[in-house]
């Protein structure tokens, strides 16, 4: 059984905008959501800037019951808010907590890269080490279990199909979309809420700072800190937030008569096996090219048909290799490479949520016929410079855009690639 | 125990604080509106039984007392909680 899969709803909590409307406005304006974070200075991080969504607690308090909020850490709040927006955006009513009706045809794959580290750091470790385990209460487990975020959402929306959390480092969010697509395509679900959530927490970011993979040279200019494709890219800027997409079988969407944003035309998932230059922290370039080719083949889309790329592009030394891989995989050299942008230039790297938030951005761009500015690369990296004409330094209107390709490449040498098609009735 | 006004805390004062602590966990708002010492915490107020450990921790913090696990087993109603807390305050 092979069915077509479309996107009928989306939700987003991002450093530069909460909710689809504000997020799209920020994308169009090229507005950065990267800020100076006092806590990072206190903890003597070398990188003291990050992308953290603003005003989330007030949104959560307006949306969820008091007892539930007491068991919702930051990742749960981001993910639940984005899922609720996607649910309503897809034309569903919020189920009553008093109703025993379960939606057996809808599931959720909501991933996370790190998980409930804020709960672990603020509660579990200090109370346990102090011999006060009893004081942890009933809400610790559900906030630190890896699947906590998808479990939370399933209860809020009475989901009865598969509900799980995937984790594949920085490719998690894109992978979740690919996994949900497979499930619907094979007739195992009608709808899947897919995406990822990652908290803003110094405990999550500390190890990356110690690895020296974060930008430590832009603490006084937060909005200029995330510099994908730039010669002065000095490492990535940690980010956070959540993106959730409602994937739905075309039959179900037509039967419900709802708006369709885009089609998930094909996906590719693979791993480089930590060989051929790949490692725990670097992608095997051959696996990246293969992943892109797998997705195109799955979609039945020719490389020449790709109109835009939303890359993984983190603002590290991997950017030139990634751009080269795109050019090779698509067989499109300087002057012919599709428009290529980096959402991370605006929000930093949201780790397990990155692929999800960036896929929401990609669908908004496909639907709106634009590619958002890839900011902070006025000084294009010398190895990327031949492709400069493909980089949108300012908002690029592409009303004829039909195919956008999105990829995420994660620690562990894992890759996920999505081919998205504009929906035309 | 002496409350902030310097008076001996009576049963009504303890109950008021117990109800305040229970409130965020209560799923039946109507039962809360007519709460009495006889109100059953799980069956009437529909508090999720898994959350009772959080309620007990909150009691301990509010009244600066310690409640043993075996004491919790005998708490079914609001009155049971009030009596248990009052006994610890003596």
CB–CB contact A137 B53 (8 Å): yes
Q: Is residue B3 over pLDDT 70?
A: no
- pLDDT at residue B90, as a whole number: 72
- pLDDT at residue A156, as a whole number: 98
- pLDDT at residue A425, as a whole number: 76
A56-66: average pLDDT: 97
For each of the domains in chain A, give its residue range(s) and CATH number, in order of start: 5-256 (3.40.47.10), 266-422 (3.40.47.10)
- Verify whether residue A349 is a known catalytic residue: yes
Q: Could you read off the pLDDT of A190-203 as tens digits, one per residue?
A: 999 999 999 999 99
DSSP tag of A338 = P
Q: Which secondary-structure segment (H or E) carries A310?
A: strand A308-310
- pLDDT at residue B47, as a whole number: 95
Tokens of A119: 């709960």
Q: Could you read off the pLDDT of A317-352 as tens digits, one per residue?
A: 999 999 999 999 999 999 999 999 999 999 999 999
Separation between Cα atoms, residue A67 and residue A137, nearest integer Å: 13
Residue B2 belongs to some domain of the structure: no
Q: Which residues pair with A404 in a beta bridge?
A: A308, A420
How far does A134 lie from chain B, in Å, by closest CA? Answer: 9
Residue B6 belongs to some domain of the structure: no
Q: Could you read off the pLDDT of B39-80 as tens digits, one per residue?
A: 999 999 999 999 999 999 999 999 999 999 999 999 999 999
Tell me if chain B has a CB within 8 Å of the CB of A400.
Answer: no
Please report, for residues A78, A119, A243, B84, the alpha-carbon distance to residue A83 in angstroms, rounded to integers and kept in the order given: 9, 21, 8, 42
Q: Could you read off the pLDDT of A262-282 as tens digits, one per residue?
A: 999 999 999 999 999 999 999
Tell me if chain B has a CB within 8 Å of the CB of A135.
Answer: yes
Separation between Cα atoms, residue A179 and residue A176, nearest integer Å: 5
pLDDT, chain B, mean: 90
> For residue B4, what pLDDT band results from cuts at 50, 70 and 90?
low
Nearest to A67 among B25, B52, B53 (CB): B25
From the list A349, A372, A381, A387, the catalytic residue is A349
Residue B63 belongs to some domain of the structure: yes
- In terms of residue numbers, what domain contains B55? 11-89
> For residue B6, what pLDDT band results from cuts at 50, 70 and 90?
very low
CB–CB contact B24 A70 (8 Å): yes
Domain count, chain B: 1
pLDDT, chain A, mean: 97
pTM for the predicted model, two decimal places = 0.96
Helix, strand or coil, per DSSP, at residue A316:
coil
Residue B41 belongs to some domain of the structure: yes
From the list A170, A194, A291, A417, the catalytic residue is A170
Mark out chain B residues that contact chain A at CB-CB < 8 A: 23-25, 27, 48, 50-54, 57
- Verify whether residue A393 is a known catalytic residue: no
Residue B1 belongs to some domain of the structure: no
CATH no. for residue B27? 1.10.1200.10
Residue B51 belongs to some domain of the structure: yes
Q: Is residue B2 over pLDDT 80?
A: no
Residue B24 belongs to some domain of the structure: yes
- pLDDT at residue B9, as a whole number: 73
> For residue A79, what pLDDT band results from cuts at 50, 70 and 90?
very high
Residue B5 belongs to some domain of the structure: no
- Verify whether residue A271 is a known catalytic residue: no
- pLDDT at residue A145, as a whole number: 97
How far does A70 lie from chain B, in Å, by closest CA? Answer: 9
């Amino acid at each position: 059984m092979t069915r077509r899969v479309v996107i009928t709803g989306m939700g987003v909590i991002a450093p530069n905008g909460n909710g689809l409307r504000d997020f799209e406005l920020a994308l169009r304006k090229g507005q950065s959501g990267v800020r100076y974070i006092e806590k990072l200075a206190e903890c003597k991080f070398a990188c003291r800037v990050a992308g953290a969504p603003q005003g989330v607690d007030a949104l959560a308090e307006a949306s969820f019951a008091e007892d539930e909020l007491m068991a919702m850490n930051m990742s749960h709040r981001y993910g639940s808010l984005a899922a609720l927006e996607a649910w309503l955006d897809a034309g569903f009513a919020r189920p009553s907590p008093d109703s025993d009706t379960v939606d057996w045809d809808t599931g959720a794959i909501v991933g996370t890269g790190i998980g409930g580290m804020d709960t672990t750091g603020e509660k579990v470790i200090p109370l346990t080490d102090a011999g006060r385990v009893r004081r942890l209460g009933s809400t610790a487990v559900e906030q630190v279990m890896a699947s906590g975020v998808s479990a939370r959402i399933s209860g809020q929306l009475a989901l009865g199909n598969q509900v799980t959390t995937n984790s594949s480092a920085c490719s998690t969010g894109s992978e979740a979309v690919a996994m949900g697509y497979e499930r619907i395509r094979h007739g195992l679900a009608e709808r899947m809420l897919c995406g990822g959530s990652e908290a803003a927490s110094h405990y999550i970011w500390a190890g990356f700072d110690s690895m020296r993979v974060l930008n430590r040279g832009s603490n006084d200019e937060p909005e200029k800190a995330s510099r994908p494709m730039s010669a002065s890219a000095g490492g990535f800027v940690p980010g956070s937030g959540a993106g959730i997409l409602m994937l739905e079988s075309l039959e179900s969407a037509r039967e419900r008569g709802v708006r369709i944003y885009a089609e998930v035309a094909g996906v590719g998932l693979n791993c480089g096996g930590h060989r051929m230059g790949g490692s725990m922290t670097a992608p095997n370039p051959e696996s990246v090219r293969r992943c892109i080719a797998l997705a195109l083949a799955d979609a039945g889309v020719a490389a020449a048909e790709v109109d835009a790329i939303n890359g993984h592009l983190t603002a590290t030394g991997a950017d030139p290799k990634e751009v080269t891989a795109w050019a090779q995989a698509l067989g499109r050299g300087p002057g012919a490479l599709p428009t290529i942008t980096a959402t991370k230039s605006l929000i930093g790297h949201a780790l397990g949520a990155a692929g999800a938030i960036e896929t929401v951005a990609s669908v908004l761009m496909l639907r709106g016929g634009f590619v958002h500015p890839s900011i902070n690369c006025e000084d294009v990296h010398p190895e990327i410079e031949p492709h400069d004409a493909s980089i949108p330094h300012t908002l690029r209107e592409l009303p004829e855009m039909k195919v956008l390709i999105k990829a995420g490449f994660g620690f562990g040498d894992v890759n996920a690639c999505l081919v998205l098609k504009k929906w035309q009735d | 125990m002496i409350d902030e006004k310097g008076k001996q805390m009576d049963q009504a004062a303890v109950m008021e604080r117990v109800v305040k602590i229970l409130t965020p966990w209560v799923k039946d708002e109507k039962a809360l509106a007519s709460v009495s010492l006889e109100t059953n915490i799980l069956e009437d107020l529909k508090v999720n039984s898994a959350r009772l450990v959080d309620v007990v921790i909150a009691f301990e913090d509010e009244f600066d007392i310690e409640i043993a696990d075996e004491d919790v087993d005998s708490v079914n109603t609001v009155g049971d909680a009030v009596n248990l807390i009052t006994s610890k305050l003596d």
